Chain A
Amino acid sequence: MKLNPSRPERVFSRLLSHSIRCIAALALIAIQALPAISAAAETAPLPAPSPTGQRLFDSARDKLVQVRILTRAGSSQSTVGSGFLIAPDGTALTNYHVISLLVLEPQRYRAEYVRVDGRRGEVSLLGFDVIHDLAVVKLDQISDAPHFRLRPENAPLQQGEKIFSLGNPLDLGFAISEGTYNGLVERRLYDTIHFTGALNPGMSGGPALDESGRVIGVNVAGTGGELANLLVPLRYVSALIAAPRVKSLDKAVIAAQLTQHQDEMVKALLAKPFPTQALGPTTVAVGNDKLLRCWGQSNAKPDKPYRTESISCNLQSSLYIDQSFTTGWVSWNHTYRNADKLGALRFSGWHARSLAAASVLGAGNQKPTRYLSRPHCHEDFVTRPANAVAGATTLRVNLCVRAHREFVGLFDMTLNAATVDRSTEGVTSNMDVRGVSFENGNRLVRAFMEGTSWTK
């Protein structure tokens, strides 16, 4: 119900005018009203269920499945998600992140499906798309089954159109969630649908339907915001279904897809010269604002002998490999520091410590894992000569590189740089690039580094 804004004011003035007289009466009314309220709560009719939602859920019952990843040793449940049939022979769709353990550790995990009526069977993998978080699976013991139809790509949805998301949230049971289509998410490397409606863990891999029950996307992720969630658009689903099947679905397939992703990511980021932005008396690289989201912060307190300004930017998406490892993204930050009152000796120490702390706490600082080697670093003073736009700038630069263990040819890079040519002011910059080829990483890091220079 939409609230009338004038109503609270009227109630308040009436209460004031009758306040004295009402004190005793209110108490009496409250006592008398209590049983009435609870009785009303018991008898009040629940909001009528959406007829469309009811109809869609009824028709989707036989086409929905819960996908469970189980340990081979004890059949303990390790991951649960949702899926849906797209062909009568048992071909179904889900998310890659639901079945990732089947790809990464097939010797330790297996998958099974559970239908709404409780029937269950084995799941085998037909294909996956790490970039868009999709997977095609085959459900055994299913033939001639009802399945979902896909909405044609030439029938685009309108913003505000009602859409429905189905799945098995939190392993509680199958459910339908009603919401609206709100176009594509801004600042994404790949198209992603902005779904305003409830999406909970466990619904990943479930279908998102239009009012006529056709699939318009696949549930993929929450954003952390209330009711702002993400769906994979249908065109990626169609591409995956149409893609030729490969015999061996292993880490080599993931590596090939990651390589393709990093090419597209770097190409998009370097499509134009790196945009720069003023930060104190410097300019710093901030990147393509159609892909990255940046946040700024200023800290100048009268009781502190310094002031700082900072900018942080990051790519709004990353690729899920497993619970402990995401890749295929970049982030960076710059901090300008000015501390005339500290003096040159204390400023230089503080300047360096702040950068080191940022490196330790930063996203680029990880222990060696099964996915990453330890870092190898190169450090030097780097001087950029003055030009028509910028003054000469000398930086202390440290570049660290880790190789991906499982995905040959991909690297993580971390750049830390600090200006060292002014006594009581300077800029520190930190850049983390994940899952790129060495050459692409160098191109990105170099473009980033060349964005920093003094202007005054």
Chain B
Amino acid sequence: MDEVITDSALAAVPVVDDTVFVEVLDKHATLIERHRFAQLPLSLGTSYRSDHIIEAETDSAAQVTVLRGDDGALWVTAPESAPEFWAPGGKTRRWRVDASRSLIVAGQRIRIRTRDYAPVASGSRAARPNSLRGLGVRAWLWAVPLALATYALETWLSDTDGERTSMYVTGSITVIVILALWSGAWALVSRLTGRASHFLSHVAAAALAIAAVFVLDYFLDTLAFSFNLPIIQRYDWSLVSIAVAMLVWCHSFLIARTQARTAALAAVLIGGALFAFQGLTFYNQRGDLASTLTLSVLRPPALRVASGTDVEGFFKEAGALKDRAEKSRPEKPDGLDFGGLGED
């Protein structure tokens, strides 16, 4: 087997007619390894006779041969005894190499390219380096402390009985445990869909999401108070669902490198399920005054921008409540009996 080379090294490779690059891909066509071979014919398989030993999960000793045909193009030929072979086009045992398409040899997805198709100029997703994955390795070092700091700040703001260290310690441990479990689950997904778990990248993403939700929630509450926008507080519970959906997409698409559609579906499903759960909970609590109160958040007077109305103005606007309350009178009082709305 020849040496494994990197993208940067490719630029320095001199042009040789018979140079062939065999790219090992994961099942989503994400590039895992690239090998250069200088001579043809080339044999690929799982046995020691192969030029490139493919570490397939199945133990197929069969080899395929890559050679240049009379037409000058590269051809892949597989013997009838190679059961784990598949090439675009179906039940073929001889396939003309298409650098843009992958084939399966000995159960492993690969792609064959010549110097002409060297991936230097390639813009495909699989060929792009995973910048977030690289960033994640370092990012967790500051993202996790940031999440813990925002949690501590939130705790401090609501701790009016005097600081209790135990509350901060147990809370921080809880945050770390949740981070670990969540990231661990996503690392497992990464391992199943690709070839690496990227645990630290997942940790970094989740920690950043925790910090972002804390900060954004406080910011929105302040905004609602400052500008007298109760509607923000009425619906800001959905922020968590949106944040979780975005986080899931980030875990799935950017780190686990799943297909865009799969990532979007996961985000919509998980975020949507949370949204639906929260929505139903609020619907069920619609009689609860607490669910209608936005007084649950106040801020110091210096942060108030909106001017107040006078008593007269308040009761003038509150006059509309009579009609609204009377219109809701025929609603069914309990459960989710949407069909009963409008009946007495």
Contacts and interface: CB of A to CB of B under 8 A. Distances in A.
A450 B311 contact: yes
A414 interface: yes
B320 A384 contact: no
Given A380-B317, A396-B295, A450-B311, A368 B286 contact: yes
B281 interface: no
Nearest to B300: A344
Interface string A39-56: 000000000000000000
* Chain B, interface SS category: loop
A378 B321 contact: yes
A376 to B, nearest CB: 4
Contacts of A384: 310-311
B292 interface: yes
Interface string A391-434: 00011111111111100000100101010111100000000000
Contact of A373 (B292, B317, B329, B334): B329
Interface residues of A, number: 67
B73 interface: no
Contacts of A356: 290, 293, 295-296
A377 B321 contact: yes
A422 B311 contact: no
Contacts of A383: 307-310
A418 B289 contact: no
A306 B160 contact: yes
Interface string A327-349: 00000000000010010111111
Contacts of B287: 366-368, 372, 374-375
B331 A399 contact: no
Given A373-B328, A423-B302, A438-B322, A382 B314 contact: yes
Interface string A302-316: 011110000000000
A442 interface: yes
Contact of B333 (A369, A399, A400): A369
A422 B298 CA distance: 12
Q: Describe A's contact surface by its main secondary structure.
A: mixed
B235 to A, nearest CB: 14
Interface string B149-176: 0000000111111100000000000000
Contacts of B306: 381
Nearest to B160: A350
B272 interface: no
Interface in B310-331: 310-311, 313-315, 317-322, 324-326, 328-331
A102 interface: no
A420 B301 contact: yes
A438 B290 CA distance: 22
Contacts of B308: 380-383, 394-395
A365 interface: yes
B298 A380 contact: no
B228 interface: yes
A322 interface: no
Contacts of B299: 345, 348
B301 A359 contact: no
A375 B95 CA distance: 71
A370 B289 contact: no
Interface string B268-295: 0000000000000000001111101111
A125 interface: no
Interface residues of B, number: 50
B230 interface: yes
A364 B289 CA distance: 8
A377 B333 contact: no
A290 interface: no
A349 B157 contact: yes
Contacts of B161: 304-305
A58 B15 CA distance: 125
A351 B298 CA distance: 7
Nearest to A409: B326
Contacts of A411: 322, 325
B297 interface: yes
Contacts of B307: 381, 383
Given A365-B289, A367-B288, A352 B318 contact: no
Contacts of A381: 228, 304, 306-309
B305 to A, nearest CB: 10
B321 A360 contact: no
A165 to B, nearest CB: 38
Given A356-B293, A403-B328, A349 B158 contact: yes
Given A356-B290, A365-B290, A369-B333, A376 B324 contact: yes
Contacts of A404: 329
B302 A344 contact: yes
Determine which residue in B162, B326, B334 has the highest number of CB atoms from chain A within 10 A of its CB, and name it: B326
Given A368-B331, A403-B325, A405-B329, A398 B294 contact: yes
Contacts of B286: 368, 374
A128 to B, nearest CB: 24
B230 A382 contact: no
Contact of A402 (B157, B159, B325): B325
A178 to B, nearest CB: 46
B301 A368 contact: no
Contacts of B322: 401, 411, 438
A209 interface: no
Contacts of B319: 442
A359 B321 contact: no
A160 B10 CA distance: 111
B328 A422 contact: no
A353 interface: yes
B187 to A, nearest CB: 37
A167 to B, nearest CB: 35
Contacts of B328: 373-374, 376, 403
Contacts of B298: 348-349, 351-352, 396, 418, 420
A418 B295 contact: yes
Contact of A380 (B159, B297, B314, B320): B314
A374 B290 contact: no
Contacts of B290: 356, 359-360, 365
A284 to B, nearest CB: 15
B160 to A, nearest CB: 4
A115 B243 CA distance: 70
Nearest to B296: A356
A350 B317 CA distance: 28
A365 to B, nearest CB: 4
Contacts of A351: 298
Contacts of B157: 345-346, 349
Contacts of B325: 373, 375-376, 401-403, 411
B289 A375 contact: yes
Given A398-B293, A423-B300, A442-B318, 7 more contacts: A342-B160, A349-B160, A352-B296, A352-B298, A380-B317, A383-B308, A399-B321
14 contacts: A305-B160, A305-B161, A342-B160, A345-B299, A348-B299, A355-B295, A356-B293, A367-B288, A367-B334, A378-B318, A382-B309, A384-B311, A405-B329, A414-B289
Q: A-B pairs with the 7 shortest C-beta distances?
A: A381-B308, A344-B300, A368-B287, A352-B298, A383-B308, A403-B325, A356-B296
